[in-house]
Amino acid sequence: MEKIRTWFITGASKGFGLHLVKQLLQAGQNVAATSRDLNALVTAVGFTGSNFLPLQVDLGDEDSVGCAYSSNKSRF
């Protein structure tokens, strides 16, 4: 039985981040995924489930990052 891990992926609404999020979710892993645009992230990932936590984050704002980290810790 494979261990379920929690992943925190930034820049997850396109490119490598999006590809990684989709693969991890398909493998049953917990994923907290961040983007500047929450709607674009949710649409691009196209997945709803308890192991997916989409987050809107401004990586240049320490409070925004801290809030996202707290949300991830609370959820998973």
* DSSP per-residue letters across the chain: -PPP-EEEESSTTSHHHHHHHHHHHHTT-EEEEEES-HHHHHHHH---STTEEEEE--TT-HHHHHHHHHHHHHH-
Q: What is the pLDDT of residue 2?
A: 75
Is 90 exceeded by the pLDDT of residue 71?
yes
* Whole-structure pTM value: 0.92
Mind listing the pLDDT tens digit for each residue in 1-54? Answer: 579 999 999 999 999 999 999 999 999 999 999 999 999 999 999 998 999 999
Query: Alpha-carbon distance 18 to 26, whole Å?
Result: 12
Residue 10, class by beta-carbon neighbours within 10 Å (0-12 exposed, 13-18 middle, 19+ buried)? middle
Q: pLDDT value at position 1?
A: 57
Mean predicted confidence (pLDDT) in 53-62: 96
Instruction: Give the per-residue pLDDT at 60.
Output: 94
